[in-house]
Structure 1
Amino acid sequence: MIDIPCQINHFFHRSCALVLLTNIPYQCEGCDEASSGLAFRCGKCKFQLDVKCTLFPTIESKDADKILHCAHKHPLTLRDSKELGDEVRCRACTKSCFAPSFGCTECNFFLHRSYTVEVQEKEIHHPFHPLHALTLSSPLQLSHHETFQCSSCLELDDWFLLRYHCVNCHFELHMDCFKPKVTIPDFKYEHHIHYLSYFDSIFAPIECNIFHEHAQTGFFRFMACAFNIHIYCIRSTPKTIKHERHLHPLTVTKSPFQYEMISAKHANGSNDEFYCDICEERRYKFESVYCCPECKFITEVRCVISELLPSLTILEEQSTEKGTVGSKNEGSSTIEAIIGNLNDQITKSKQERNALKKEVEKHREILKSLEEELEQKKWQVRKL
């Protein structure tokens, strides 16, 4: 009792402090067990957590073999890979738990140790969706086969996976997508108010807002505005480059090429496979590439990003000197810009609604006049 604090702040309930109370009937929010003994409680939110669950070690604790984690309501026990079969999959990445993992055998819920370290917040604020906070989902059973689409990488995955999502919008974010993947800094495009994040590749083609071409690799995005621009569509991006993997210059060109296609007659609907000569991976066939026509050497934009980035850096520095690009804190903030855009849409909708109301009233007057005219003619017919 001496070692138990009278008041704590716990990551299961960050909004309020929890106070130690005695002899109260409750159901623990951590392990779901009912009791009437000691409990930490938030009277305002009616949240209870028993002492046992409250004092569980966290993942940062040395040699912790049992932890309480925000991703699951029950304590998670450290399991060696030898104890787990090939069928046991991590709820964050779907891969088999060959490495030591924390899990709850009762719910068949397992997480690789790396994800228990990286994911420690039940609720986060993310620049990809600045209007609302994102909440860690409660994964469904493994037998649940419906899918969701990650709003960042556009990959389809099973609902049983952990993810961050917005309860107000249809916005889903993979565990691997909520943290930065690349070290390329955000880019300020001169004709857009927000800084854009670089995406190396995604799982479905998206349309460029400038030239309306579709691509899957090497582009900048600001997801809240649904603004996308391919790196080769930026004015300062060089159209011809030199790369160490090829002797001749490479020029950006629209793909696919006729010599790549098995059947040119059915080019749009064919299942021909197209590859990048640098990474040797499949590429999206309708995306512009850098190529050498003489040698038929073709590479995706993302594979020559090191040759393209310097031109963007120079452009940003020049724009900053001229005052066209300021710091991220200058001007309207992300949220203010989005709210302003929504307010404009609301105002426009109200104006359209008022115009429609006037149009309806006008037609009602015409209809009333026609009905009166019809009644007069009926009366004249009866009189005859």
Structure 2
Amino acid sequence: MEIQHFAYSGKLSFREADGEIECVGCQDVINGPAYISEEDNFAMHKVCAEMPPQIQKDAFHPHPLKFKLIDVIVCDACSRLLFSYISYRCMYCDFNIDFRCAKAIINDENNIEKRDDEDLQRTRTLHFCHPHQLTRCKVSPMTEFGEDMIENIWEPNKLKCVACKWKLQDTQTFMCLPCKFIIHESCMNDLPMQVQSSLFHPHHILHPRPFFNAGGEVRCYACRKKVNGFSFYCNKCDVDLHVSCAKYRTRATKHSCHPHNLLQLGKSIIKGISCCACGRKNYNDSLFSCRKCDFNVHPKCIPLPSSFEHKRHLHSLALVSPFAEDDSEDYYCDMCETERNPEIHVYYCVECNYIAHIDCVLSEVRQPQ
């Protein structure tokens, strides 16, 4: 049995699937017979293939909903951001629903309520981080098919939070879909109105600068990577910093290898930066850096004691690569008792799990006897 489906140019045959294949409608794995193309991987469950090209359900939405192919939407039924090969869009207003919710409307309208979490109520708000209204939504976990397709629509690095730069899948967010601006709800709530002092630019207060479709390419002063959508900005020096870079936890250290103070930078900052001593780009290492002079050097490429005894600790301390001793996300220097960044080198005692900032111990080193 063959059919011609409105979402596909060729014929679809009803047969058993050869191996694991995803339905382009609901994006679930197909088990059993389905409508499958003989030419490529286009396949649909029987119940999905029977969905109409247009939906009219006055009790749900007053206007007809027509199918649309290959789009990234925020579903107005379940408040999720997701990629849909087939979605339905209102012919008269800005209303979209994903394929799963459309199928629920056709088969059982109560199923929409089962998919809709209580914390996903549709919310729109204005915030200083963006000039347009932001919509609250949850980013759905994506299948391999969805991830491949979204790269054809958005640049891969666009689907990251503009504040922390972490991925967004299965998290609560606010977004402006036309601008491809997305921020975690938690990051937006924690966003300060200004940064009083950033170690990358300590002399002036940094103010929020939302922008979109900016002329030219804006680069972060700290990590040198492209800034998308929002930055903290010094209008006196014309300096932009990512949110995560402006609030980056680091230490300023004085060393004889350079006349200025050096900042200790970890892997989230140093990608693409070469060591001035050895020339290598080691993303899992850390660097001492002077951003003013563009001077960058690995801790192990400058004269630092690899191990020593310290008057404030019983055992020898050894210089070690960046590490986190557990998954608590709360890491402290045992010497100064302040928060430490797990991305940077430290001095470490393996016998008693004692950890100290490099700059905390350098001024008090005593050589072993």
- TM-score calculated relative to the size of structure 1: 0.38
- Based on CA coordinates, which of the two structures has the bigger radius of gyration? 1
Richer in helix (by share):
1
